[in-house]
Amino acid sequence: MVKEIERAGIPVVHIATVIPISKTVGANRIIPAVAIPHPLGDPKLAKAKQKEIRKVLVEKALDALQTPIDTQTVFE
Amino acid sequence: MAKYKIVHYLNQFFGQIGGEEEANIAPKVEDGSIGPGNAFNNALGDKAEIVKTIICGDSYFNENKDEVQAAIKEKLNEINPDMVIAGPAFNAGRYGMACGGVAEVAYELGITVVSGIYPENPGYDMYKQYAYFVETSDSAAGMRSALPNMADLVKTYIEKEGELGLPEEEGYLPRGIRKNIFADQRGSKRAVEMLVAKLKDKDFKSEYPMPNFDRVDPVDPLENVKDAKIALVTSGGIVPKGNPDHIESSSASKYGKYSIDEIYEMTPETHETAHGGYDPVYANEDPNCVLPVDVLRDMENDGKIGKLHDYYYSTVGNGTSVANAKAYAQEIAQELQEDGVQAVILTST
């Protein structure tokens, strides 16, 4: 899906946990997520803390969308 | 000839421990065969026997790959089998990656691996050189043919003492490796014959199929995210409570487009996940952990992004065929363009 959206000319950032799969499906901008069932949160933590983690990930994603790249890039 | 000693790798489901709620279990070893392993033992007769079964949760494997691979390596060293059978994994992405990851470790130890997989499973492309992957259907409904096909390959491998023929002769998927063989005709003659056949529009078979690198070059970045309209898309199956479009929990035949205009955060009362390929407890408790609407709304209010698009798109990326996913995304991309969306955040589970 990432590939087809990017093919249409829209920059996409993929937030995903299993990075090798993200690379195989052809995502160019990749943000490693927390875990498979909760990519943008960690149920072990309090709600407010979870939202902070989520905010950091989304900020990384927005930075990635503004970063020029030549090839598949994982933004750690 | 002594009976071949086989170790079988299974996920938590086929290892009969449980469903998605058990996808987080660490690897463990059981004596003998379990589930599909029993059928393998019957089919293999006096040639080979599954002596141990290694079981690991699909999420656990993929989230802790290095640790699990090291543990499995140690266990294989202890058991010292003649062969490993992994799966079959069908089109289950995490399971396919796990079977491939097991194959990689076994390969390093010089142990042959037979597995079963649907060719679109990312585990095949990533790990094809480490195992003999038998082609299976996309779902476990194909177990009845997958098991005998895999058992046949194991038997042939034993009979031929490891000297298997070409993939299409023996019934396994190409491994992308080259082997020296003696041909009847020299290369120049074979090449000219191929060319003549091509010119005559006749069938011919390349001896070196070109790899299919379907890559899209990165699009130019956003100049300023503060002015941009951003849309959310997910393969994590987040839908309005009750799943109004009845998006299937696996092999989804559709995607949904849902309004988030006036929605400031996802709540368990308004949204849930339709995805059947991961433990839904967390996403149902707090759908924002798959679709970060809450954070993006805050950013919109703070002027950090221009606008969060009024709609989000969702499907279930669980066993969904590449062709379907491609078609959904093409339609979605066209609508997003028409709506003036400048960038997409796509989340996957």
Which of B161, B104, B106, B162 lies closest to B128 in space, CA to CA? B104
CA nearest to B223 within chain A: A66
Contact B63 A15 (CB under 8 A): no
Within 10 A of B261 (CB to CB), how many other CB atoms are there?
8
Our count of domains for chain A comes to 1
pLDDT digits (tens, 9 = 90+) for B116-157: 999 999 999 999 999 999 999 999 999 999 999 999 999 999
Instruction: Compute the CA torsion angle A48, A54, A55, A60 (nearest 10 deg).
Output: 160
Q: What average pLDDT does the structure give for chain B?
A: 94
What domains are there in chain B, each with its CATH number?
4-170 (3.40.50.2300), 225-347 (no CATH)
| ipTM passes above 0.95 | yes
- Best probe of the B interface among A38, A42, A70, by most B CBs < 10 A, is A38
Which of B104, B57, B49, B47 lies closest to B79 in space, CA to CA? B49
Lookup: tokens for A41: 């949160």
- Locus of tokens 């079988």: B8
DSSP one-letter string for B5-60: EEEEEEETTTTTS-SGGGTTPPPEEEES--THHHHHHHHHTTTEEEEEEEEE-HHH
Lookup: tokens for B261: 């205009």
Which residues in chain A touch residue B289, judged by CB atoms under 8 angstroms apart? 34, 38-41, 43, 50, 54
Lookup: tokens for B76: 């294989």
- Locus of tokens 């930075």: A63
Mean pLDDT of B318-337: 93
Percent of chain A with pLDDT over 90: 95
Task: Determine the pLDDT at residue B212.
Answer: 66
**Can you give the residue range of the structural domain that contains A35?**
2-74
Contact B225 A18 (CB under 8 A): no
Contact A4 B233 (CB under 8 A): no
Min Cα–Cα distance to chain B from A76, Å: 15
This prediction has a pTM of 0.79
Size of interface A-B (CB pairs under 8 A): 198
